[in-house]
Amino acid sequence: MTRAIRVKNTEDIQKINKIVTKFPFDVWIHGKSGMVDAKSLLGMFLLSLNEPLSLVIEDDIDAKLVKKLFSDLEDYLDIEDDDE
């Protein structure tokens, strides 16, 4: 499952990282320059913030957990973008 995500600055990186580390599944952020583990703060700081980014999780994650993740990240996600 993929959602567009807005990461504007280092404060956003830290907040997003803090949120995703609470979840028991892998969360990735993909951009044109590559992909990073969103649970890795160091990896997150390698993101190029001036390109479109996507939050990616596996399709088989419990729907309740996905809903909670998206709710927690609502300030950063474009919910209408759905590549399911």
| 3-state DSSP of the chain | CEEEECCCCHHHHHHHHHHHCCCCCCCEEEECCEEEECCCHHHHCCCCCCCCEEEECCCCCCHHHHHHHHHHCCCCEECCCCCC
Per-residue model confidence (pLDDT) at position 75: 94
The tens place of each residue's pLDDT in the chain, 84 residues long, gives: 999 999 999 999 999 999 999 999 999 999 988 899 999 999 999 988 888 999 999 999 999 999 999 999 999 997 554 444
Per-residue model confidence (pLDDT) at position 80: 55
Per-residue model confidence (pLDDT) at position 83: 45
Q: What's the pTM?
A: 0.86
Per-residue model confidence (pLDDT) at position 18: 97
Per-residue model confidence (pLDDT) at position 19: 98
